[in-house]
């Protein structure tokens, strides 16, 4: 039986996926929470890593320590770099890189969806008016500042985990797919500098966040919209993921 390992950073992303499957069971992978379910006679293992590169890598290794996955999937929400993507659009990344101090590292190639999986994912997004597009997953440490050369890529999106997962996948010789839905971008920006309110372990600095709200009370209302956008994006990423993995051959064999 084939096994697929699924890595999401936040509970919101994992819960969106579990709402799309009929039966699942809670489990753990070392210190990380997870779930197990079946899809097209495949054993699917879902781990919730927490935000950031290190947590994503540790969670991926914990998942693989007790299983022999044939495929890994990094999924969830992301921020659009350019204004050609809208909230809810889904990006399947062909490659990923780590953006550190404004400079991109070496790009890692990612696995591609098969034609049947692509068409199934695109079709399930149509009722919501969302689109499925190819792109690039740019992993940041929280920064929303990008270089002009990144803006010139096809559908670049910012997130905080995929490059780390790609490193582990390459070490283990396992193909990796990245499926990310847009929750913010130039048309719907995050109302604060994310990097400034995260500590070195990617935990929110509550004191900094409270001070920010006191200085700019309008952030409360802007954050409400951001949460609605994030839920829509998480739901679309989950729908596209389930549709893609429900096909007999979800990825193109290398």
Digit-coded pLDDT (tens) for 49-72: 998 899 999 999 999 998 889 999
pLDDT tens profile 215-227: 555 544 455 667 7
| Separation of first and last alpha carbons in the chain | 20
202 band by pLDDT with thresholds 50, 70 and 90 = low
What pLDDT, on the 0 to 100 scale, is given for residue 209? 47
What pLDDT, on the 0 to 100 scale, is given for residue 1? 59
Mention every residue, 6+ apart, whose C-beta is less than 8 A from residue 109.
Answer: 94, 95
pLDDT tens profile 116-165: 999 999 999 999 999 999 999 999 876 555 556 565 678 999 999 999 99
Cβ(234)–Cβ(16) below 8 Å: yes
- Looking at per-residue confidence, does 197 or 230 come out higher? 230
Has residue 74 got a pLDDT over 50?
yes
Task: Say if strands 42-48 and 32-39 run parallel, antiparallel, or are unpaired.
Answer: antiparallel
- Looking at per-residue confidence, does 210 or 187 come out higher? 187
Domain boundaries, the chain: 3-188+233-245
Tokens of 48: 């919730």
What pLDDT, on the 0 to 100 scale, is given for residue 153? 77
- Yes or no: is domain 3-188+233-245 CATH 3.40.50.1580? yes
Has residue 80 got a pLDDT over 60?
yes
- Looking at per-residue confidence, does 21 or 149 come out higher? 21
Angle between helices 53-65 and 162-172 (to 10 degrees): 30
What pLDDT, on the 0 to 100 scale, is given for residue 67? 86
- 45: part of which helix (H) or strand (E)? strand 42-48
């Amino acid at each position: 039986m084939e096994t697929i390992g699924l890595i999401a950073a936040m509970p919101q992303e994992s819960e969106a996926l579990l709402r799309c499957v009929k039966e699942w069971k809670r489990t753990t992978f070392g210190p990380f929470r997870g779930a197990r379910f079946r899809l097209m006679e495949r054993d699917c293992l879902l781990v919730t890593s927490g935000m950031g590169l290190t947590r994503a890598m540790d969670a991926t290794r914990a998942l693989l320590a007790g299983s022999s996955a044939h495929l890994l999937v990094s999924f969830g929400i992301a921020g659009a770099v350019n204004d050609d993507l809208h909230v809810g659009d889904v990006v399947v990344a062909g490659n990923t890189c780590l953006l550190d101090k404004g400079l991109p590292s070496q790009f890692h190639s990612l696995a591609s969806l098969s034609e049947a999986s692509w068409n199934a994912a695109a079709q399930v997004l149509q009722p919501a008016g969302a689109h499925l597009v190819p792109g690039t997953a740019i992993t940041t440490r929280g920064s929303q500042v990008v270089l002009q050369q990144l803006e010139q890529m096809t559908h670049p999106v910012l997130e905080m985990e995929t490059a780390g997962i790609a490193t582990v996948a390459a070490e283990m010789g396992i193909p990796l797919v990245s499926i990310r839905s847009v929750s913010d971008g130039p048309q719907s920006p995050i109302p604060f500098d994310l990097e400034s309110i995260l500590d070195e372990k990617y935990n929110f600095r509550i004191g900094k966040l409270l001070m920010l709200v006191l200085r700019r009370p309008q952030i409360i209302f802007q954050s409400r919209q951001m949460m609605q956008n994030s839920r829509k994006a998480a739901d679309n990423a989950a729908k596209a993921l389930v549709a893609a993995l429900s096909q007999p051959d979800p990825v193109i064999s290398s």
